[in-house]
Structures are given as C-alpha cells and as structure tokens.
Structure 1
Amino acid sequence: MKKILIIGPSWVGDMVMSQSLYRQLKIQSPNSQIDVLAPAWCKPLLTRMPEIHQAIDMPLSHGEFKLTQRYQIGKQLRSKQYDHAYVLPNSAKSSLIPFFAGIPIRTGWKGESRYGLLNDIRLNKKSFTYMVERYVALAHLKGICWIHQALVV
C-alpha cells in the first residue's frame, strides 16, 4: 500500500478543488492511503471526502514560519513512513515538514526557492489555466503531458 501525505491549502476554495487531485491519485493507486495535513477547520470538509484516510491538524497558522515546530511535526510524521508527499501551497515553509519527515518523493510546483526541499519539482505551472488543473497535474509523472476530458470538482 502506497502511503501519501498531502500538505493541503489553507483556503476553503482551494481545499475543495484539491479533491480532484485525491480522486486522481486513487484512480492511479486504488489501495493508496491518503492523509492530508491542513488547518483544523478543514477537518469537517476532509472527512466528507471518501479518498481521505486521515485529516491531520496543522497546528501552525497560515503564514507562521516557526522552524523548530515544523521540524518537530516532520519528526512526528516520520514514524508513519509515507512514500510520497504532494505540497500544494507554493511557499518554501510548506515544503519543510515533508522534508523533515524524510518522505522520499516530495512533489510540488516551483516556488519560493524550494530546491532541495522538493525533489520532484514541476516547472510549468502556467501551462494550466485553472488551479484544479494544476493540482491534478501533480498526480502525473513529470514531463507527461495530459489532457483532461472533464475534471470533477
């Protein structure tokens, strides 16, 4: 079973759109376990998404850096032995926890000098007009051009 950690967005609209990524990941790997690290207010929303195994409360507020706390959260998550992390926010600080957790594959769009923190950086985010397309594109292999027939949000 593939274990996936998603670093979720901090905004309700973006969180709703992120479900399209979770659906695509489940299509590609039906037995995968998807956990989402997100603000506590997201939990009621995430528990209604059948693709999500666990909603993990992010104790830091949007915009807080707090490097030591991010290290501690990553260290706690290390025991879950995730195989892959998808980092949806563009900030460098959002990439720290999966890095500290030792997750071997860390995927996300280029942004805020995240080189080294992410090891599967996607460069062509502007090729996708809509945020939901950008989220779903992360599920596909780097360099693979995909065309959606219809995205379900």
Structure 2
Amino acid sequence: MKILVIGPSWVGDMMMSQSLYRTLQARYPQAIIDVMAPAWCRPLLSRMPEVNEAIPMPLGHGALEIGERRKLGHSLREKRYDRAYVLPNSFKSALVPFFAGIPHRTGWRGEMRYGFTQRCTRAR
C-alpha cells in the first residue's frame, strides 16, 4: 500500500504528525508513507523512520494556484497512491490528492472540502 500525507506547514504540527505516521505503519506494516510538505520540513522528516520520502510542496502557504495544484496532482499519478491523509484544514490542501486520483482520501471537514475528501472528520 502507498500512502500520501499532506503535511502541516508549522514545525510543532509537523512534529506531532509523527504519531500519525507511527499509527499508519503499525496498522499497515508494508505501507510506503510519503509526506508532501514545505521544503524546510525535509530535514525533520528525514529523522522520522516511518517516512519513506519527503516530497517538497512547491506552492507557498496561502496560495490557491489551482492550476498549479492540478499539475502537481497529475504529476503524482504515476506513484499510484492508494490512500491520502490531508492534515491541514484548508480547501486547497485537499486539491492535490484529488487531482492525483487517489481513491481513498481522508481529512477534516470544512472549507467546502466535501467531495475532495471522502472520509471527513470534524475538527475538535
């Protein structure tokens, strides 16, 4: 199984996301877990043994750039991910996995994301 996680853009949130990667690896021991996040996260993600690859997010924080997100999603199709977990709560964060054609997409409810994520959870 191949899993793509759209990671957070903040240091503390990225550190806390390791618990998700550990849980995913425990649940799916053969899974390959890649994380898309800002380039500055690479050194941090390289220290997380659960993460196979840190994929740099080339788009700046706050930029919608829907056409670029579509291109980015299409470029990920060749990796054939089975699942995606979208950690940020923003609409734009859910676009890349949607455009990548990832069949199972999980994320938080909100910001008109219905349809872009299939399994939605309420933020607490």
Q: TM-score, normalised by structure 2?
A: 0.98
**Structure 1 match to 2:66:** 67
> Shift in Å at residue 71 of structure 1?
0.3
Instruction: Write the distance in 1 (CA, Å) between the matches of 2:84 and 2:99.
Output: 12
**Structure 1 match to 2:49:** 50
Instruction: Write the distance in 2 (CA, Å) between the matches of 1:29 and 1:118.
Output: 21
- How many corresponding residue pairs? 124
**Structure 2 match to 1:81:** 80
- Residues 39-65 of structure 1 show CA distances to partners (whole Å, capped at 9, x for unaligned) of 000000000000000000000011011
Bigger radius of gyration: 1
RMSD: 0.6
Residue identity opposite 1:57 in structure 2: P
**Structure 2 match to 1:20:** 19
> Shift in Å at residue 76 of structure 1?
0.3
Q: Percent identity?
A: 61
Instruction: Write the distance in 2 (CA, Å) between the matches of 1:78 and 1:95.
Output: 15
- Structure 2 residue runs of 5 or longer lacking an equivalent are none
Runs of 4+ aligned structure 1 residues displaced above 6 Å come to none
Instruction: Write the distance in 2 (CA, Å) between the matches of 1:118 and 1:109.
Output: 8
In structure 1, the residue corresponding to 2:52 is in which secondary structure? Answer: strand
Instruction: Write the distance in 1 (CA, Å) between the matches of 2:110 and 2:59.
Output: 20
**Structure 2 match to 1:95:** 94
Instruction: Write the distance in 1 (CA, Å) between the matches of 2:53 and 2:119.
Output: 24
In structure 1, the residue corresponding to 2:110 is in which secondary structure? Answer: coil
In structure 2, the residue corresponding to 1:6 is in which secondary structure? Answer: strand
- Structure 1 residue runs of 5 or longer lacking an equivalent are 127-153
In structure 1, the residue corresponding to 2:17 is in which secondary structure? Answer: helix
> Shift in Å at residue 10 of structure 1?
0.2
Q: TM-score, normalised by structure 1?
A: 0.80
**Structure 2 match to 1:4:** 3
In structure 2, the residue corresponding to 1:31 is in which secondary structure? Answer: coil
- Residues 4-63 of structure 1 show CA distances to partners (whole Å, capped at 9, x for unaligned) of 000000000000000000000001011100000000000000000000000000000110
